[in-house]
Amino acid sequence: MALQHEFVFVSNEEKGLDFIGIDWIELCFLYKEEATIDECVVLSDELIVYLLDFTHWLPTYYPAKRAEGFGIHYYGITKIEQQGAVIAEQLFCSLVNMFFSSARNNRTDRAVSMGK
């Protein structure tokens, strides 16, 4: 099985993410019992490696190290708090737009090269 990275979008947390009170659920996501899991996504390692450069300036928190930092912690849990979440949303929306634009342009280029 290929390496995958799980992302859980959690809201309504009162105590924040740390290693106290964390449980496993069926999909092997880490979460606190009182948290509400709104959304989750699993991304391939290849995509994460591609995105690492884009996230290096994203403010984050590493619970295992109890330290603030920047970017996604490749080998552990990364918490993106409110300030970083606003930036992350803008970043990921821009990347999605870029990917869709690229796909649209590729279809147009193929149609032109085929004489359509």
Can you give the residue ranges of every domain in the chain?
4-113
Note whether 29 and 36 are within 8 A (CB). Answer: no
Q: Give the model's pLDDT for residue 7.
A: 74
The single residue listed with the structure tokens 């699993």 is: 42
Note whether 54 and 98 are within 8 A (CB). Answer: no
Would the pTM count as exceeding 0.85?
no
Three-state secondary structure of 57-95: CCEEEECCCCEEEECCCCCCCCECCHHHHHHHHHHHHHH
Q: What is the pLDDT of the chain when averaged over all its residues?
A: 73
- pLDDT tens string 47-83: 888 888 988 989 998 888 888 999 988 888 888 888 8
First to last CA, the chain: 41
